[in-house]
Amino acid sequence: MKSIQNIKQKFGIIGYDYTLQRSLEKAIQVAPTDISVLVLGESGVGKEFIPKIIHQFSCRKHYSYIAVNCGAIPEGTIDSELFGHEKGSFTGATNMRKGYFEVANKGTIFLDEVGELPLTTQVRLLRILESGDFIKVGSSKTQKTDIRIVAATNLNITESIQKEKFREDLYYRLNTVQITIPPLRSRKNDIKFLFKKFSNDFAEKYHMPPIILNKHSLKYLENYSWPGNIRQLKNLIEQISVVETKREITIEKLQEYIPDNIPSLSVSRIHNCNRSDKEYFFHDFSKERDFIYQILFDIKKKFDDLKNITYRLIKNNTNNKFIIKNQELIYKVFGKQIIYPYNEKNNSIFQIRNSIKSSIKKKFEFKEIEINSSQKNHISCFSLEKQEIDFIQKALKKNNGKRKKTAKDLGISERTLYRKIKQYGL
């Protein structure tokens, strides 16, 4: 068996992350078998290398290898593409056509984005996995194929099964061996190697010196969340290589190309959305979260200050009747009793009457005020919105309505500010 280093050199794989190394080891181990493999990972992590490695080190390497992007083929033609069709089977079928499963017989087929397959196609695929049988569109004749299937997806298949968008029996047939490719944000130490590789590649391609990073700009790249993973990094380096004239890239220059406020995305968060909704997650939640926390801290501080001022005012009140009358409320708010102030008539310090004291203790020691969660959320959200609106209005006024400067002062992106202005009708 060839070493991992040789494999990486042959397929142009860069990185020394343990999870990546383990994924490559598993691919090599299962390659000589006919076991179905399911490759998981976010978009842009390089899942396409795994089926190539498996095919190359299998006994099928001298036969066809076909990669199919299931999400890019229209639902109406996917069956024809995969299984073929007979002449006249549908409008436009002027000739008989072989499908991928027939063309790749004895070889390997890679089904990328397998989670996007229609349910009717999933039934046909399951039959191939179980018996090797398939039927062309418009035919009644069963044909055989001997093929190795490697599938990949960036969706949460378990959730798709629960929503009845993916067959559970097909999932277990595909998932005989599971290989997970880690996202780039989990491979921070590999970023400098990837940068150097891509920089040299584009320097050679465009006949120019490679771009380089100083230690601050490298740190910036390592701390970035990379929602588009390696694909995004590669595109970024190509863009900078072509556009920038200076070859040393500073952190300020990097910030012009990638924002500093996109958070890390976990696989589960991306899995829990449809493809059309994924752009929503490439939003600067981390800065907005910090913005919300700051508002909450300010609210708490103001509340504590008000509470302390109120307590001192009540304690220094010379009107004993006021304190006696509101003793229960005072105990409920402050959690303690107030000793009555000095009374000139009898030069003594009044204490709370035992009857009042015992009733308060009984009432508040064993019974708590119950506020349901919806009321709490309503109060919290109302206070939060009010503070947030106030912050945004003051910042807009300070910057004469200029959104770019306002967003910078608030520590959020201009996109977030625009959304907030639209949300609150400012």
- The DSSP string of 370-399 is ---HHHHHHHHHHHHHHHHHHHHHHHHHHT
Q: Count structural domains, the chain.
A: 4
Judge if 34 and 78 occupy the same domain.
yes
Residue 131: what residue type? S
Q: Which residues are CB-contacts of 29 (< 8 A; sequence separation ≥ 6)?
A: none
Single residue among 147, 163, 183 that ends a domain in this structure: 183
Question: From CA 247, how far away is CA 208, in angstroms rounded?
Answer: 9
Residue 275, domain member (yes or no): no
Give the pLDDT score at 331: 61
3-state secondary structure of 129: helix
Which of 137, 48, 58 lies closest to 91, judged by CA?
137
Residues 362-389 have pLDDT tens digits of 444 444 444 444 444 444 444 566 777 8
Question: From CA 118, how far away is CA 82, in angstroms rounded?
Answer: 12
Residues 43-84 have pLDDT tens digits of 999 999 999 999 999 999 999 999 999 989 988 889 999 999
Question: From CA 411, how far away is CA 22, in angstroms rounded?
Answer: 40
Residue whose pair of structure tokens reads 């491979």 in the numeric block? 187
CA–CA distance from 168 to each of 34, 129, 386 (Å)? 21, 14, 47
Give pairs for 201-207: CB < 8 Å, separation 24+. 202/237, 202/238, 202/241, 202/242, 203/241, 206/241, 206/242
Residue 98, domain member (yes or no): yes
Which of 37, 39, 61, 45 lies closest to 13, judged by CA?
45
Judge if 382 and 233 occupy the same domain.
no
Single residue among 166, 183, 200 that ends a domain in this structure: 183
Under 8 Å between Cβ of 24 and 57: no
The DSSP bridge partners found for residue 151 are: 38, 111
Residues of the chain predicted below pLDDT 50: 1, 261-287, 340-382
E strand or H helix at 151, and its extent? strand 148-153
Give the pLDDT score at 289: 54
Residue 295, domain member (yes or no): no
Question: From CA 244, how far away is CA 229, in angstroms rounded?
Answer: 22
Give the pLDDT score at 146: 94
Quickly list H helices, 259-335: 267-271, 285-315, 320-325, 327-334
Residue 290, domain member (yes or no): no
Write down the pTM of the prediction.
Answer: 0.59
CATH of the domain at 117: 3.40.50.300
Residue 14, domain member (yes or no): yes
Question: From CA 404, how far away is CA 412, in angstroms rounded?
Answer: 10
Judge if 189 and 114 occupy the same domain.
no
Domain boundaries, position 354: 317-369
**Phi-psi region for residue 294, left (φ > 0), alpha (ψ -120 to 50) or beta?**
alpha
Under 8 Å between Cβ of 261 and 287: yes
Single residue among 154, 183, 212 that ends a domain in this structure: 183
Give the pLDDT score at 182: 94
